[in-house]
Amino acid sequence: MGRIISILQIAYFIFRIILCLLSSWISMKWKVRRARRAFEEEAVKHGISREEARRLSEALTDLEKQLRDAVKASLGF
């Protein structure tokens, strides 16, 4: 009986870790999208063309991709 409880506890904690990682990933994507949009709007307000603001804001997306790749590498994916 003790083994079954131990296995269920391990499964529960693994499931919980997966949910935390998934929610972190979704949150990061959402925040990068919001930051990029806010940056573009502020740049346009200060006189930069919309195309140039989009090009500059791509740096945020590149940083997010680098962070995601670093996390994947640390997890062994």
What rounded mean pLDDT belongs to the chain?
A: 90
C-alpha span between 74 and 34 (Å, rounded): 26
Q: Where are the domains of the chain?
A: 24-77
* 8 A C-beta contact, residue 61 and residue 32: yes
C-alpha span between 70 and 35 (Å, rounded): 21
pLDDT 10s digit of each residue in the chain, 77 long?
A: 789 999 999 999 999 999 998 898 899 889 989 999 999 999 999 999 999 999 989 988 888 889 888 888 887 76
How many CB atoms are closer than 10 A to CB 36?
Answer: 19
Q: What is the pLDDT of residue 77?
A: 66
Tokens of 43: 């740049």
